[in-house]
Structure 1
Amino acid sequence: MALTKNFKTLDIREQLAATGMKGKNITFLDDFKREQIHALYESAKMLEPFLRTGVDLLKGKTLYTLFFQPSTRTRCSHENAMLRLGGNVITEADPLHNSSVAKNESLYDSLRVTSQYADVIVMRHPDDKEALGAIEQLGTDSSPIISGGYGHVTHPTQGLLDSYTCWRAFGDLQNATVVISSPDLSRARSGQSFALALAAMGARIVYTGTSELRTPEIIRKKLTAMGARWEEHFDLDQKKHAEMFADVGADLIYLPGCSVKKDDPDREAFMRKLENHYVSLDMLDNLKKKTGKVVGVHHSLPRNPGEFDMAIDRTEHELYFKAIGFSVAVRMALLASVIGVN
């Protein structure tokens, strides 16, 4: 490293400011350039040592979590992150019954009211059109709103977590090839947000799914506009998947999980198709022998039996539980970036 006049001690405030996210809604990750996401990564890395002790960067600030769908990891990690930053948390985990939404209050009104109580809102909503419409209508009449998942198309904080985990594991993502594998790419919102983050960082993206349930057009257009390196494969069986993983030089296999609820009539068909996407430990061992690579396996969680070999849990391939360890640091960086630190 050559010496320059800019050589000095690290300053978390400068890294957070470099994200350019202060006061911004976080909806789709193509809204941010490579340098901004990289600044967020560096901020998260600087915050990792404070995951247990905390650091009072947001003392006196308040987060409001508004979740219209169930959540463990996304909601709790954001709340944990805010508390570790010295801030406060207001939680609404069941607004359909416990808030004025139960009295037919519009989402626009609800967000405009609750933003008066908080410096930032993290919201999960099952209808992306309703959520995005309300946010557009609000304009600047609200605290910044971070998507904790809207409909089937966007889950940017999950995408940031997954790409950060990938960055920590593999380094420069311009050299990484990530396979996103699901029988239903049309409802794989975590996989699609991961893809946008990967595209911003220059990674190669390889989709594999079923021909009748492809990536939503809105995501396809965004990837194309970003100049992303991406390709698609359809209707492969287990054997063909193993061959494809080797042929493309996969570094990571990402399984977005099942967005098909237990009572959904399509769930049984989904689970049958899932057999073709099953990743076994034997498959990974054979890949290592063939390519010399330890291929990572990542999953957005929660997982279902039959998605992949649970023997992977205690191997070097496992990244899904390791990602949980990184989740609070990433969300600390995100909250501090969006609210801003003096």
Structure 2
Amino acid sequence: MALEQNFKTLDVRDHLAATQMRGRNITFLDDFSRDQLDALFQAARQLEPFMRTGLDLLRGKVLYTLFFQPSTRTRCSHEDAMLRLGGSVITESDPLHNSSAAKNESLYDSLRVTSEYADVIVMRHPDDREALGALAELEGHVSPVISGGYGHVTHPTQGLLDCYTCWRAFGDLSRVTVAIATPDLSRARSGQSFALALAAMGAKIIYTGTSELRTPAVVRDKLVRMGAQFEEHFDLSESQNKELYIERSVDLIYLPGCSVKKDDPNREDFVKTMANYYLGMETLQEIRQKTGKVVGVHHSLPRNPGEFDFGIDNTEHQLYFRAIGFSVAIRMALLCAVVGVN
């Protein structure tokens, strides 16, 4: 093997620059190539040792978190990441009561104002059309905005975390098959963002859901344009889903979780249908016996009883709590990539 001219010590700034994310809004993950996502993941891995001790890559920079919907993991991990990078945080977790949104200020005006305070914004909003529309109008006039979840269709930071966790667990994702299983693919924004990231990295995607609540057209169209390897299965029973996992030799089963709130009149129907997607230890053991694979189980959290066997928590299959351990590193990398590090 010959020495290369560019052989040198590692520098996280090289990977951050290669993402080409500086100054960009983060909305849908098909906006980025495999090489760009790989560069982000390489940067995150270099930042993992500093998740607790911190380093001053973004000293003097300010993050504003604007969350119109409840959040624990997404908001707190971004805030933690910015603080670990030496930056500062302004947080608004209830803007409809605590900000000028309560006075009927438009989202356009809110973002334009808060951009004067912050170098980067992480926003969660219940209406994807309103959020994306405001950002289109504001392009070039506000600080970069990272989506912490818009409507039911996109949650790119969750998709990046899930894909990064998968990348750390399995390595080359072009050799990995992931099943995304839920009764409601239409509102599974974490699963859909994960799918876009997986597609960019060359993984194979197996959807299993209900024919009445399919993947949103905007996401499906993106997968088609990407040339993604994906297939869709509908209205399978629990035993049929198990056979699907075995036949397709899946490496990971991803459960996007229940997006139907407690007071939603459709929640009872969702819970009943969820039984067909229940994942128990017996299924994982049978898959291992027939394929030799220790299949990973991932969930976007928060979880609900009846989605899967909570006994998986303390087994080698569990990835959902392990992913939390990676969340600060990938969000440190994302903030550095978007804000820029000199």
Tell me the TM-score normalized by structure 2: 1.00
> How far apart, in 2, do the equivalents of 1:94 and 1:260 lie?
20
> How far apart, in 2, do the equivalents of 1:181 and 1:192 lie?
11
> How far apart, in 1, do the equivalents of 2:219 and 2:3 lie?
42
Unaligned runs of 5+ in 2: none
The residue type paired with residue 8 of structure 2 is K
CA offsets, 1:227-284, max 9 Å, x none? 0000001111111111000000100000000110000000000000000000001110
The residue type paired with residue 83 of structure 1 is L
2:66 equivalent in structure 1: 66
The residue type paired with residue 12 of structure 2 is I
CA offsets, 1:63-104, max 9 Å, x none? 000000000000000000000000000000000000000000
Alignment of 1:289-308 (within 5 A): 289-308=289-308
2:114 equivalent in structure 1: 114
Deviation at 1:290, TM superposition (A): 0.4
> How far apart, in 2, do the equivalents of 1:262 and 1:285 lie?
33
1:204 equivalent in structure 2: 204
> How far apart, in 1, do the equivalents of 2:149 and 2:177 lie?
25
Deviation at 1:2, TM superposition (A): 4.0
The residue type paired with residue 151 of structure 1 is G
SS of alignment partner, residue 329 of structure 2: helix
Bigger drift between 1-10 and 56-65 goes to: 1-10
1:77 equivalent in structure 2: 77
SS of alignment partner, residue 159 of structure 2: helix
> How far apart, in 2, do the equivalents of 1:207 and 1:267 lie?
21
Alignment of 1:145-224 (within 5 A): 145-224=145-224
The residue type paired with residue 314 of structure 1 is N
The residue type paired with residue 293 of structure 1 is K
**Moved runs in structure 1, 4+ residues, more than 2 A?**
none
Deviation at 1:5, TM superposition (A): 1.0
CA offsets, 1:182-233, max 9 Å, x none? 0000000000000000000000000000001000000010000000000001
CA offsets, 1:118-155, max 9 Å, x none? 00000000000000000001011100000000000000
> Taking structure 1 as reference, are residues 181 and 2 closer, same or farther at Cα in structure 2, changes over 3 Å only?
farther
2:341 equivalent in structure 1: 341
SS of alignment partner, residue 135 of structure 1: helix
Identity %: 73
> How far apart, in 2, do the equivalents of 1:92 and 1:218 lie?
29
Tell me the TM-score normalized by structure 1: 1.00
1:269 equivalent in structure 2: 269
1:132 equivalent in structure 2: 132
SS of alignment partner, residue 302 of structure 1: coil
SS of alignment partner, residue 79 of structure 2: helix
1:38 equivalent in structure 2: 38
CA offsets, 1:3-30, max 9 Å, x none? 2111110001111011000000000000
> How far apart, in 1, do the equivalents of 2:11 and 2:273 lie?
49
> How far apart, in 1, do the equivalents of 2:97 and 2:154 lie?
25
SS of alignment partner, residue 186 of structure 2: helix
> How far apart, in 2, do the equivalents of 1:305 and 1:132 lie?
34
The residue type paired with residue 40 of structure 1 is L
2:90 equivalent in structure 1: 90
2:332 equivalent in structure 1: 332
> How far apart, in 2, do the equivalents of 1:151 and 1:55 lie?
34
1:4 equivalent in structure 2: 4
> How far apart, in 1, do the equivalents of 2:78 and 2:186 lie?
26
SS of alignment partner, residue 154 of structure 1: coil
> Taking structure 1 as reference, are residues 111 and 314 closer, same or farther at Cα in structure 2, changes over 3 Å only?
same
2:247 equivalent in structure 1: 247
> How far apart, in 2, do the equivalents of 1:239 and 1:196 lie?
28
The residue type paired with residue 243 of structure 1 is E
SS of alignment partner, residue 233 of structure 2: strand
CA RMSD of aligned residues (A): 0.5
Paired positions, count: 342
SS of alignment partner, residue 135 of structure 2: helix
> How far apart, in 2, do the equivalents of 1:245 and 1:184 lie?
19
> How far apart, in 2, do the equivalents of 1:115 and 1:207 lie?
39
> How far apart, in 1, do the equivalents of 2:48 and 2:174 lie?
24
SS of alignment partner, residue 52 of structure 1: coil
SS of alignment partner, residue 146 of structure 1: strand
